[in-house]
Amino acid sequence: DDDSGKYHGRRRIQGGRERLRKSLFMCAFTATRHNPDLASFYTRLRQSGKEHLCAVIAVARKLIVLANTILFRKTEWTPQHRKN
């Protein structure tokens, strides 16, 4: 964070493994366009006032949680929105 007094600077993510972080960001960015479940989550965040990059990072975090859940339960991905 870059805060001083009433000034609140822009937050950055720089910890962890850079290559993994960049790959995850690109996956999240693509998911906001092509995955109906994650696209609706992204849209809901944007409508509530979140900035674009903040919403994409939230989608990235959701991808991590989903991947961990799928691995833990040993199940397959089942989308909430079904195509007709």
Q: What is the three-class DSSP state of 7?
A: strand
pLDDT above 80: residue 82: no
Annotated domain spans of the chain: 16-73
Q: What does the pLDDT read at residue 33?
A: 95
Rounded distance between C-alpha atoms, residue 61 and residue 7, angstroms: 27
For residue 17, report the phi and psi dihedrals to the nearest 5 degrees. -85, 115
Phi-psi region of 65 (alpha: psi -120 to 50; beta: other; left: phi over 0): alpha
> Would you give the DSSP letter of residue 81?
S
Express each pLDDT in 62-71 by its tens digit. 999 999 999 9
Phi then psi dihedrals of residue 7, to 5 deg: -80, 130
Whether the pLDDT of residue 29 is over 60: the answer is yes
Q: Does residue 30 carry a pLDDT above 70?
A: yes
How many percent of the chain have pLDDT more than 70?
89
3-class DSSP state for residue 83? coil
Q: What is the pTM of this model?
A: 0.79
